[in-house]
């Protein structure tokens, strides 16, 4: 223990007169030993850590507050073990509440949650209404995956202080881990009422709404988050996702600039930027951005899928096939990849494998109208018997009708798919004209609008929740996870529409040669 004067002052130029100071090594008046504590406190408050260290080093006599501040500085600078050591020394000298709390916090930061819980419980014997202790106890239990205790403590913490954003967030995440979305939403909304300016809480509410396909509400929430914190990245990513869904690539692109400025190496942002360029028909830029995204995150399925899509569009079929192979290698159950692979293979004159890819894709997801339509086109091109084509197209129309009935947003389904089907010679089921098909739609699921808002949600929900399944385990690194599953959504939405457009062009080229490629591009613009 070198708390007394035994440590020699550092051989520094700062202190020429300090060495032979008086006859004694102790000052005559020890009673005013605390006289610089206030200054240390002020310096700590404004973050002058280096200066504090120097100041403490030159003091001839160290008091307990200096030990405490020194420990805080260590912790702020990331040397938690040293900090813990000093805090423990403080506790031995004076076992006050504040010292015990600091020991517990340091232990928790070191990941020794079990010991930290003991220390916090010790602290709880000295006070009953300390929010910080209860909240941190909750967090420690959460890390140890003891969710019941964690919930209990967090609720207690919220009883003491109702405004604590952190507790609401932690509690909401706990509910999400356990799959209780309604409770989580309730907690977040309660928190947001108390913290009407919290970007994090509103982003969470927005994301939950997005998962349930309440896009207007989601967008409102992201908007609130962004008004209070215009550079809050998760909210930007989420809001842009909605914007991209609406096809407003320019606005999304201008918002992505903010994220790009802050996180230039974020693969998800590059992916989304690439898809923005894609919908603006700047294909080379799109490829560049996607390739950078792929470089930054080589094992990201959606980036590979998008790359393949853009390459298909650019008629670089070999590259597209190769990227799709990688995508399939990453996720063997990703039906859209197989469907697209089928397209690529058929372009590469490999009808056998293309047929297999289509079949496998439809086995994984038999209700995807895009895959069905492409399969139908493929079958028509390769001269399969009309009955088979007919079966495929029947299925297509059925799935399309179901989708159309369940879609709350008309943009989600591209009506030009029907046109292509008609061109293919298989218009909507019994009679060809569109009005008839509409009437049939109405007949199929009896009341089209009122029920679909309730009945279709679960289905939508399932589709979506299947795409970000890693959400629960990743709660401990929340921000990263959020970025990821945000970027997945737009990449899933936009490309699907494009696939069809692309195939549209291909089909026209093959079957009805009179239509040039450009005009089909124009078609695509209109569809958008």
Partner 1 sequence: MPSNKREKSASRQYQEISGNTNENETDQTRPTTTTAATDTKSKWLSAHNDFVAGINTVGSCVELVDLYAEGSVNLVIADFGNILLMPKIQAKLKVFKEFSLLKENNLSDLPCAVVACYMDTLQPRIPALAVASGSAVFLFKSLRPYYKFVLPQMEIAQVEKDVWHKAREGNIDMRAMHDVLNDLHRGGTVPLTHRSLAFLQMTNTNEAHQFVEHYKTIELKRQSCITCMKKLNKNSADEDALNCLVIGTEDQHIYIIEAQAFTIMATMNCPATPSFLDVSGVYDVEFRILATCRNGYIYLFRRGSETPRNAIYLNSIAVGLERFGKNIIVGCMDSSLHCYTTKGKRYWKHLLPAQITAMCQIDYRPKGFQAVAVALANNEIHLYKDKFLVDVIQVEENIYAMKFGKLGREDATLVMITKNGGLLVKILKRTATFEESDTLHGPPKEQQVKIDVPKRTKLYVDQTLREKEQAENMYRIFQQDLIRLKLLTGKEFLKSVQAGLNPIAKTKNEAIRINAEVHGLGPRFKLTVKLQNTSSTSLTPIIDLFISFTYDENIYSLNPNYIEIPILITGIEYGFCTFVTCITDKVISDIIKVYVCRRDSSAPLISAVINMPVAEPNLSI
* Ranges within 206-235 binding partner 1 (CB under 8 A): 229-231
Q: Does 318 bind partner 1 (CB under 8 A)?
A: yes
Other Cβ atoms closer than 10 A to 505: 21
Q: Does 281 bind partner 1 (CB under 8 A)?
A: no
d(CA 503, CA 480): 35
Answer for which of 49, 63, 118, 186 binds partner 1 (CB under 8 A) is 63
| Nearest distance in Å: CB 431, partner 1 | 41
Q: Does 37 bind partner 1 (CB under 8 A)?
A: yes
Considering only the stretches 57-65, 328-336, 354-362, 502-510, report the one whose residues sit in contact with partner 1 under the rule CB under 8 A: 57-65
Answer for which of 143, 152, 288, 381 binds partner 1 (CB under 8 A) is 288
Answer for which of 79, 85, 124, 316 binds partner 1 (CB under 8 A) is 316
Answer yes or no: are the C-beta atoms of 82 and 60 closer than 8 Å: no
Answer for which of 7, 77, 81, 98 binds partner 1 (CB under 8 A) is 98
Task: Please measure the distance between the N-terminal and C-terminal CA atoms of the chain and give it in whole angstroms.
Answer: 73
Question: Judged by CB, which is closer to partner 1: 356, or 464?
Answer: 356
Q: Does 47 bind partner 1 (CB under 8 A)?
A: yes
Tokens of 292: 């950078």
Provide DSSP, 465-506.
Answer: HHS-TTTGGGGGSHHHHHHHHHHHHHHHHHHHHHHHHHHHHH
d(CA 407, CA 405): 6
Question: Judged by CB, which is closer to partner 1: 344, or 373?
Answer: 344
Q: Does 322 bind partner 1 (CB under 8 A)?
A: yes
Q: Does 41 bind partner 1 (CB under 8 A)?
A: yes
Tokens of 153: 């403590």
Other Cβ atoms closer than 10 A to 316: 16
Dihedral sign from CA coordinates of 499, 501, 506, 508: positive
Q: Does 506 bind partner 1 (CB under 8 A)?
A: no
| Nearest distance in Å: CB 335, partner 1 | 22
Dihedral sign from CA coordinates of 524, 525, 526, 528: positive
Answer for which of 58, 442, 451, 480 binds partner 1 (CB under 8 A) is 58
Question: Judged by CB, which is closer to partner 1: 264, or 473?
Answer: 264
Q: Does 109 bind partner 1 (CB under 8 A)?
A: no
Other Cβ atoms closer than 10 A to 355: 18
Q: Tell me, what DSSP letter sits at residue 9?
A: P
- Restricted to residues 477-496, the positions that interact with partner 1 (CB under 8 A) are none
Q: Does 296 bind partner 1 (CB under 8 A)?
A: no
Answer yes or no: are the C-beta atoms of 275 and 490 closer than 8 Å: yes
Considering only the stretches 32-40, 177-185, 333-341, 507-515, report the one whose residues sit in contact with partner 1 under the rule CB under 8 A: 32-40
Q: Does 53 bind partner 1 (CB under 8 A)?
A: no
Q: Does 81 bind partner 1 (CB under 8 A)?
A: no
d(CA 282, CA 288): 10
Question: Judged by CB, which is closer to partner 1: 279, or 392?
Answer: 279
In sequence order, what are the residues at sequence separation of 6 or more whose Cβ sits closer than 8 angstroms to the Cβ of residue 230? 258
| Nearest distance in Å: CB 184, partner 1 | 22
Question: Judged by CB, which is closer to partner 1: 226, or 405?
Answer: 226
Tokens of 493: 């939405």
Answer yes or no: are the C-beta atoms of 207 and 461 closer than 8 Å: no
Considering only the stretches 174-182, 298-306, 315-323, 426-434, report the one whose residues sit in contact with partner 1 under the rule CB under 8 A: 315-323
Question: Judged by CB, which is closer to partner 1: 348, or 441?
Answer: 348
d(CA 117, CA 136): 8
Answer for which of 256, 305, 313, 358 binds partner 1 (CB under 8 A) is 256
Q: Does 237 bind partner 1 (CB under 8 A)?
A: no
Size of the site for partner 1 (CB under 8 A): 82
In sequence order, which ranges of 426-477 are alpha helices (DSSP H)? 434-443, 448-466
- Restricted to residues 10-29, the positions that interact with partner 1 (CB under 8 A) are 14-15, 17-18, 21, 24, 26, 28-29
Answer for which of 115, 258, 296, 440 binds partner 1 (CB under 8 A) is 258
Helix (H) or strand (E) holding 37: helix 37-45
| Nearest distance in Å: CB 64, partner 1 | 7
Question: Judged by CB, which is closer to partner 1: 294, or 406?
Answer: 294
Angle between helices 199-211 and 448-466 (to 10 degrees): 110
Answer for which of 114, 193, 262, 333 binds partner 1 (CB under 8 A) is 262
Q: Tell me, what DSSP letter sits at residue 63?
A: -
Tokens of 30: 């020890």
| Nearest distance in Å: CB 102, partner 1 | 11
Other Cβ atoms closer than 10 A to 12: 11
- Restricted to residues 323-362, the positions that interact with partner 1 (CB under 8 A) are 347-349
Question: Judged by CB, which is closer to partner 1: 44, or 302?
Answer: 44
Question: What's the Rg (C-alpha) of the chain?
Answer: 31
Q: Does 294 bind partner 1 (CB under 8 A)?
A: no
Answer yes or no: are the C-beta atoms of 201 and 169 closer than 8 Å: yes
d(CA 150, CA 144): 9
- Restricted to residues 119-138, the positions that interact with partner 1 (CB under 8 A) are 131-132
- Restricted to residues 142-201, the positions that interact with partner 1 (CB under 8 A) are 161, 163-164, 166, 195, 197-198
Tokens of 495: 């490309």
């Amino acid at each position: 223990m070198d708390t007394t004067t035994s440590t020699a002052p550092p051989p520094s130029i700062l202190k020429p007169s300090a060495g032979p100071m008086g006859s004694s090594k102790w000052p005559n008046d020890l009673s005013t030993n605390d006289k610089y504590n206030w200054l240390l406190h002020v310096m700590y408050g404004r973050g002058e850590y280096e200066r504090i260290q120097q100041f403490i080093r030159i003091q001839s006599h160290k008091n307990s507050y200096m030990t405490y501040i020194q420990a805080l500085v260590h912790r702020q600078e990331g040397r938690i073990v040293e900090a813990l050591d000093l805090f423990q020394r403080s506790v031995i000298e004076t076992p006050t509440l504040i010292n015990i709390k600091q020991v517990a916090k340091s232990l928790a930061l070191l990941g020794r949650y079990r010991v930290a819980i003991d220390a916090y419980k010790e602290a709880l014997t000295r006070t009953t209404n300390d929010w910080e202790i209860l909240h941190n106890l909750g967090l420690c239990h959460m890390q140890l995956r003891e969710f019941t205790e964690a919930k209990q403590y967090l609720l207690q913490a919220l009883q003491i202080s109702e405004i604590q954003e952190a507790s609401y967030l932690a509690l909401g995440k706990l509910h999400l881990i356990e799959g209780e979305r309604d409770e989580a939403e309730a907690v977040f909304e309660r928190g947001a009422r108390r913290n009407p300016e919290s970007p994090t809480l509103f982003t969470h509410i927005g994301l939950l709404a997005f998962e349930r396909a309440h896009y207007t509400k989601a967008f409102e929430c992201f908007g609130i988050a962004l008004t209070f914190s215009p550079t809050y990245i998760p909210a930007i990513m989420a809001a842009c996702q909605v914007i991209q869904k609406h096809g407003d690539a320019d606005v999304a692109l201008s918002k992505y600039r903010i994220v790009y400025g802050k996180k230039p190496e974020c693969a998800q942002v590059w992916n989304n930027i690439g898809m923005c360029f894609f919908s603006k028909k700047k294909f080379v830029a799109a490829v560049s951005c996607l390739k950078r995204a792929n470089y930054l995150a080589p094992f990201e399925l959606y980036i590979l899928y998008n790359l393949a899509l853009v390459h298909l569009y650019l008629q670089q079929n070999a590259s597209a096939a190769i990227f799709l192979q990688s995508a399939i290698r990453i996720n063997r159950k990703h039906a859209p990849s197989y469907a697209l692979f089928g397209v690529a293979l058929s372009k590469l004159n490999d009808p056998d494998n293309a047929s297999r890819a289509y079949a496998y894709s439809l086995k994984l997801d038999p209700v995807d109208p895009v895959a069905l339509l492409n399969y139908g086109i493929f079958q028509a091109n390769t001269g399969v018997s009309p009955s088979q084509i007919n079966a495929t197209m029947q299925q297509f129309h059925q799935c399309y009708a179901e989708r159309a009935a369940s879609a709350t947003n008309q943009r989600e389904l591209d009506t030009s798919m029907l046109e292509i089907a008609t061109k293919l010679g298989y218009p909507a089921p019994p009679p060809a004209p569109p009005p008839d098909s509409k009437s049939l739609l109405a007949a199929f699921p009896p009341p089209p609008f009122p029920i679909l808002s309730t009945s279709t949600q679960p289905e939508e929900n399932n589709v979506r929740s299947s795409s970000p399944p890693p959400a629960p385990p990743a709660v401990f690194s929340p921000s990263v996870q959020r970025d990821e599953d945000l970027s997945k959504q737009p990449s899933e939405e936009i490309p699907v529409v494009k696939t069809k457009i692309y195939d549209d062009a291909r089909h026209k080229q093959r079957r009805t040669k009179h239509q040039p490629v450009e005009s089909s591009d124009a078609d695509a613009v209109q569809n958008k």
